[in-house]
Amino acid sequence: MAKTLAEKIIARAAGRDRVTPGEVVTAKVDLAMIHDSGGPRRVEPILKELGAGLFDASKVVLISDHFVPGDTDEGARILELTRAWAKERKVAFHDGQGICHVVLPEGGHLSPGMFVVGGDSHSPTGGAFGAYMFGVGATEMAGVLATGEIWIRVPGTIMLEWQNRLSRGVTAKDMMLALCGRLGMDGGKYQAVQYAGEAITALSMQERMTLSNMAAELGAQAGLIAPDETTVAWLEGVGAAVGDWQDLTTDPDAALLEHHVFDAAALEPQVAAPHSPANSAPVTEAGGTAIDVAYVGACTGAKYEDLKNAASILRGHKLAPGVELMVAPSSRRDQDRAEADGIMAVFEEAGARILPNACGICAGYGTHRLGEDVTCISSTARNFKGRMGAASSKVWLASPFTVAASAVAGRIADPRDFLDGGRA
Amino acid sequence: MTSRVFLFGNDIDTDQLAPGQYMRGGIDELAAHCLEGVRPDFASTVKTGDVVVAGTNFGMGSSREQAAEALRRLGVAGVVARSFAGIFYRNAINLGLPVMIASDLSAVTDGDPAVLDVEEGRLRLMEKGIDIALEPLPDNLKRMLADGGLVPHLKKRFAAERKENDT
């Protein structure tokens, strides 16, 4: 019988030959990822109350990112507690290395076919590697850490097929903003979204991560991409176990919940107006708004390739008067690479403020927050009212290309006008 | 005192329910700011037993379970919505906050005196004399909610396992 990729992974984790969408099964987790906010400070009191230890410390990865750099008293205290817990519970710990969704695969912890839970809503990012990964809250995570298992309602699969290839200056972020607009913030119906087609095959791993990451904004449980040679090469590069991956696909005649087809070649750069990623439109129609702040940050929009794209626009240009550019590279590894390639120097020459490798303004947990009435264009995933700062601040979402172009223009601008050093 | 409905629209997100800038503090501080962006007087006027009614995709956004915990801390009897975001829905059940789905909530007006009956699966609008039928919860979640959430549910399970091992 034909199966979807989601069904194959869940059936294996549930110890079943096959599973059917809609049924509730209990599955064993291969890995649990937690961070400093929903992690030790929340789960340890519950573990104590349950009188339980970790189901398997070797299957737990802890990453600090939400309260890094500890710029408030409470944040610093939470980080101390997090570090002490990592030692006590003897789990793998990446401290101050960057945002969990980027650091987890960089650390070689993910492999195709794994069934993984993460204590963060952008956990679907792991789907880019062919893992079924989804986000849960802290109490549910404590239950997973105590038992090694979790219930799941087997999802149907919503296939998002992108034919042809993206044109220059158009990225995975633009695909996701367009999808949020077309399908809505609940278009994923808490089912499994799967991305496929020529445009997806042509994407790099980091661009694929952006697609899977923003499955969260579609309200999907997971955002899967079947592993291929690109996946395997990337994973081998970080020393991850790859295993058998050839069968980790949705069979051609498997029953799908929905199947949508899009033309990647026709897609233009997108921007999403405040206060929802679903308020998206082509920049050619929705551009022009004057901005105060340009932000290249978060797991969604500050990976190495995001930095590279933004820098390609900034090179040889000055920021528009009065515009502040802030850059928070997603991980230390990506920042190091960007430094070696001269990308960070471009940001510094442009006068950008470089922020720590952490969730930063996107989570809004620390001291860096947008002030009253500030208009910001951001490469992050969410522009909910008040999330990144004052309730009166307005956040537009766009790709790193478009954020950089807007920083140069002083208003929301089409990045294609700035490619190849065009237009000053 | 009669319990009442607090009516909200679609896409109420977790940054409204549990604003990020208060995430480093405790639940009481967070709860005091719950939904202030859409309804500044919510935390100060909501009373034990009141019911939150909303449109589609309630609780979208972050996995922070404080979004559900804050409502519970304020005494909200439960949330009735046309649909919920997946992670919020799981978090609410895990924390013992009833979350019920109703396909048609057009009869509900803000401030309606109302009683949420989770067991019977209905929202009773007292003055209007209308009962709104709510979708029954799946069995596994009904059991968890009846136990008071995931932690008491697991405690019960572990106790039963220990008893079994002893005999």
Question: What pLDDT band is residue B164 in, cutting at 50, 70 and 90?
Answer: confident
Q: What is the pLDDT of residue A424?
A: 41
Q: What is the pLDDT of residue A366?
A: 86
Interface test with B, best of A384, A385, A394 (most B CBs within 10 A): A384
Q: Specify whether the CB–CB gap between A177 and A272 falls below 8 A.
A: yes
Phi and psi at residue B25, to the nearest 5°? -90, -165
- Tokens representing B41 are 């007087």
Cβ neighbours of A342 (radius 10 Å): 11
Q: How buried is residue A63: exposed, middle or buried, by Cβ count under 10 Å (0-12/13-18/19+)? A: buried
A386 touching chain B per CB within 8 A:
yes
CA distance A368 to A327: 12
For A306-326, write each residue's pLDDT tens digit. Answer: 999 999 999 989 999 999 999
For A2-20, write each residue's pLDDT tens digit. Answer: 999 999 999 999 999 999 9
Q: What is the pLDDT of residue A372?
A: 96
CA distance B159 to B161: 5
Q: Specify whether the CB–CB gap between A382 and A364 falls below 8 A.
A: no
Residue A236 has pLDDT above 70, yes or no: yes
CA distance A418 to A413: 9
For A54-103, write each residue's pLDDT tens digit. Answer: 999 999 999 999 999 999 999 999 999 999 999 999 999 999 999 999 99
Residue A265 has pLDDT above 70, yes or no: yes
Q: Specify whether the CB–CB gap between B61 and A384 falls below 8 A.
A: yes
A387 touching chain B per CB within 8 A:
yes
Q: What is the pLDDT of residue A420?
A: 75
Question: Are A147 and B154 a contacting pair at CB < 8 A?
Answer: yes
Q: What is the pLDDT of residue A367?
A: 85
Is it true that the peptide bond before A69 is cis, omega within 30 degrees of 0? yes
Report CA-CA distances (Å) from A13 to A9, A18, A30, A241, B140. Answer: 6, 11, 8, 18, 19
Residue A205 has pLDDT above 70, yes or no: yes
Interface test with A, best of B8, B17, B24, B36 (most A CBs within 10 A): B24
Question: Are B85 and A369 a contacting pair at CB < 8 A?
Answer: no
Query: Which residue type sits at A229?
Result: E
Q: Specify whether the CB–CB gap between A62 and A92 falls below 8 A.
A: yes
For B15-68, write each residue's pLDDT tens digit. Answer: 999 999 999 989 999 999 999 999 999 999 999 999 999 999 999 999 999 999
A246-284 exposure pattern, b = at least 16 Cβ within 10 A, e = fewer: eebbbeeebeeeeeeebebeebbbbbbbbbbbbbbbbbe
CA distance A271 to A126: 25
For A360-413, write each residue's pLDDT tens digit. Answer: 999 989 888 999 999 999 999 999 999 999 999 999 999 999 999 999 999 999
Q: Are strands B5-7 and B51-54 parallel, antiparallel or unpaired?
A: parallel
Question: What pLDDT band is residue A182 in, cutting at 50, 70 and 90?
Answer: very high
Q: What is the pLDDT of residue A405?
A: 98
Question: What pLDDT band is residue B166 in, cutting at 50, 70 and 90?
Answer: confident
Report CA-CA distances (Å) from B71 to A198, A355, B63, B149. Answer: 45, 34, 15, 15
Interface test with A, best of B21, B72, B143 (most A CBs within 10 A): B21
Cβ neighbours for B45, distance < 8 A, ≥ 6 positions apart: none
Report CA-CA distances (Å) from A420 to A140, A309, B39. Answer: 49, 12, 48
A312-336 exposure pattern, b = at least 16 Cβ within 10 A, e = fewer: bbbbebebbeebbbbbbbbbbbbbe
Is the ipTM above a cut-off of 0.90?
Answer: yes
Q: Specify whether the CB–CB gap between B127 and B113 falls below 8 A.
A: yes
Question: Are A139 and B149 a contacting pair at CB < 8 A?
Answer: yes
For A92-115, write each residue's pLDDT tens digit. Answer: 999 999 999 999 999 999 999 999
For B123-158, write each residue's pLDDT tens digit. Answer: 999 999 999 999 999 889 999 999 999 999 999 999
Residue B114 has pLDDT above 50, yes or no: yes
Mean pLDDT of chain A: 97
Closest CA to A63 of A106, A98, A108, A88: A98
B45-77 exposure pattern, b = at least 16 Cβ within 10 A, e = fewer: ebeebbbbbbebbbbbbbbbbbbbbbbbbbebb
Closest approach of chain A CAs to the CA of B90, in angstroms? 8
Rounded percentage of chain A residues whose pLDDT exceeds 70:
99
Report CA-CA distances (Å) from A156 to A190, A221, A241, A373. Answer: 9, 10, 28, 42
